[in-house]
Amino acid sequence: MYRYDQYDQAMVDARVAEFRDQTERRLSGQLSEAQFRPLRLMNGLYLQLHAYMLRVAVPYGTLSGRQMHMLAHIARKYDRDYGHFTTRQNIQYNWIKLADAPDILADLASVEMHAIQTSGNCIRNISSDQYAGVAADEVADPRPLSELLRQWSSFHPEFTYLPRKFKIAVISSKTDRAAMRLHDIGIELVKKDDEIGAKVFVGGGMGRTPMIAPEIRDFVPFNEVVSYLEACLRVYNRYGRRDNKYKARIKILVHEMGADEYRRQVEEEFAHMKTLGLDPPVAELERIAAHFAPPPYETGLSDEIDLSDRDFAAWVGSQVAPHKVPGYAIVNISLKPIGGIPGDASSAQIDLIADLAEKYSFDELRVTHAQNIVLAHVKKSDLYAVWKALEEADLGTANLDLISDIIACPGLDYCSLANARSIPVAQKIAKRFSDLDRQKELGELKLKISGCINACGHHHAGNIGILGVDRKGVENYQLLLGGSGAEDVSLGQITGPGFDEDGIVDAVEKATNVYLANRTEGERFVETFRRIGMAPFKEALYG
């Protein structure tokens, strides 16, 4: 894992001091809320329906045990004993007092963490693949470049007041576990003539106008990535729309200008940027990469797992993924217990996961964009002990990528933007399909719920998506089918008129019945939908 040096530490310490001053100016009345708002937002502090919400950055989703323990400490000391892991691999606390916020940032800085740029119209936390470094098919570890870009984007003087927020994802496998092409910039590491570089996609996103990012450049050498991104951002900062916040994301610029014209302008700017010496030397990437060297794996381990315990076998079948090193496995910890709140974890659970990471996974863990946690290097001979511990903490649910592994935004229970509640719908659907055998019969089925058109719950990318809307003062839910945030990326289509809260649960069940009746051998839900189209689903839903 990356460790701060004195420069990184000085930077976050300065930020804590700055925010402490700003908060004091606010609390003493020197700053109005209007003046304070942009300052607190740059530090991830939102004013929600009931209280302040603090979003803490988890760079590219990677944490140490010590950092995870600190997240538990913050939940316990400053919040209501729980935190919420988000679709951008971060964690949010929902019940924060303004006066505590500087102390929380200081606690975070003590373990090399921060909340810098987790909000505001700036470059947000870089997200990445939760299997980074352990996936057998990756071209190179995506985390060193992600960390290089974290540093480059932190306090970037030209790109702090962009037209709108800006999200970057970095992956390095053909398998996309980070919804890469649904980001403002998606980077896929690729190899060309034995040289590793970046394939760059620009202009993806969800929100009210979902778009899949087109490829803008097939290869940028590693030592020119910063210049290239500066060029991409400069064209956006100068020409992105500022007249309408709903048309201000870069996807609208790329769409209205056309990918070819955007590419042409970026190339022109890039040619100029390359002459300015903006790129860190390769030695800097190598310095960072050394922090991500593989942990000291044992050799000669057995790949045998005793699956005589049926519940354990079911968990292994669902939650454990292949690791590139013999004798090791990747463990996915579900934060989606049936009837629970997707992505929520109590401080006790967070502490337990931190303990497991320290004991069984080289002191390292990852947050996934699907709001689960990954222990990336667990010995197969330790899997049973890990499962036992998870089971006792209500973390042993075996539902990865099944219909109850729901992505949901906080919705109207917390969020001041929401039109409808998301959490109760997620809970009802999970309960409707609570029988695990039934879920397995349905197979991979990614269900995603947003409580408003801003799409924080990724409903456009759900095999089944649900969008909460306000219809004449009543919560109403639209159903979308056929979306995907993976390498077969696609946007869901709306089935037709919406449903009420119980109606949407019935509608989801009807859609799954159409799938079961029509699928061919081995066909996933999204594949059946693509083959047979919307008509049979509409027929079942609306008669």
Partner 1 sequence: MIEFLSLRPTQDGGAGEAAELPAVTLESFAGQSNATAVRIEPGEDARELLPHLDRIALVEVNFPVFGDGRGYSAARILREAGYAGELRAVGDVAVDQLSHMVRCGFDSFTPDKPLDPALVEQALTRFPTRYQKTVDPTVPVWALRHG
CB 179 within 8 A of CB 462: no
Part in contact with partner 1 (CB under 8 A); list of ranges 279-287, 448-456, 469-477, 535-543 = 279-287
Task: Decide if residue 119 touches partner 1 (CB under 8 A).
Answer: no
Part in contact with partner 1 (CB under 8 A); list of ranges 124-132, 272-280, 336-344, 498-506 = 272-280
Task: Decide if residue 121 touches partner 1 (CB under 8 A).
Answer: yes
Tell me the C-alpha distance between 307 and 310, whole Å: 7
Tell me the C-alpha distance between 24 and 99, whole Å: 8
Task: Decide if residue 542 touches partner 1 (CB under 8 A).
Answer: no
Nearer to partner 1 by C-beta: 34 or 535?
34
In the block, which residue shows the tokens 């991830």? Answer: 44
Angle at 58 between CA 112 and CA 347, to 5 degrees: 90
CB 412 within 8 A of CB 350: no
Residue 163 CB, nearest approach to partner 1 (Å) = 8
The gap from C-alpha 367 to its chain's centroid, in whole angstroms, comes to 8
Part in contact with partner 1 (CB under 8 A); list of ranges 69-77, 236-244, 419-427, 482-490 = 236-244
Q: Find the distance separating the first CA and the last CA of the chain, reported in whole Å.
A: 55
Part in contact with partner 1 (CB under 8 A); list of ranges 32-40, 216-224, 305-313, 498-506 = 32-40
CB 464 within 8 A of CB 445: yes
Residue 153 CB, nearest approach to partner 1 (Å) = 8
Task: Decide if residue 14 touches partner 1 (CB under 8 A).
Answer: yes
Task: Decide if residue 5 touches partner 1 (CB under 8 A).
Answer: yes
Phi then psi for 219, rounded to 5 degrees?
Answer: -160, 125
Q: Is 410 helix (H, G, I), strand (E, B) or coil?
A: coil
Part in contact with partner 1 (CB under 8 A); list of ranges 99-107, 172-180, 234-242, 311-319 = 234-242
Residue 242 CB, nearest approach to partner 1 (Å) = 6
Residues touching partner 1, count (CB under 8 A):
38
Residue in 155, 219, 297, 384 binding partner 1, rule: CB under 8 A: 155
CB 412 within 8 A of CB 419: yes
Task: Decide if residue 17 touches partner 1 (CB under 8 A).
Answer: yes
Tell me the C-alpha distance between 322 and 319, whole Å: 10
Helices (H), 274-405: 282-291, 310-319, 347-360, 383-392
The gap from C-alpha 32 to its chain's centroid, in whole angstroms, comes to 33
Task: Decide if residue 274 touches partner 1 (CB under 8 A).
Answer: no
Task: Decide if residue 11 touches partner 1 (CB under 8 A).
Answer: yes
Part in contact with partner 1 (CB under 8 A); list of ranges 136-144, 149-157, 313-321, 511-519 = 149-157
Tell me the C-alpha distance between 499 and 478, whole Å: 6
Task: Decide if residue 291 touches partner 1 (CB under 8 A).
Answer: no
Task: Decide if residue 21 touches partner 1 (CB under 8 A).
Answer: yes
CA dihedral 415, 417, 419, 421 (to 10 degrees): -20
Q: Using CB under 8 A as the criterion, which residues of the chain lie in contact with partner 1 when the complex forms?
A: 5, 7-8, 10-11, 14, 17-18, 21-22, 35, 38-39, 121, 151-152, 154-162, 234, 237-238, 242, 272, 276-278, 280-281, 283-284, 287
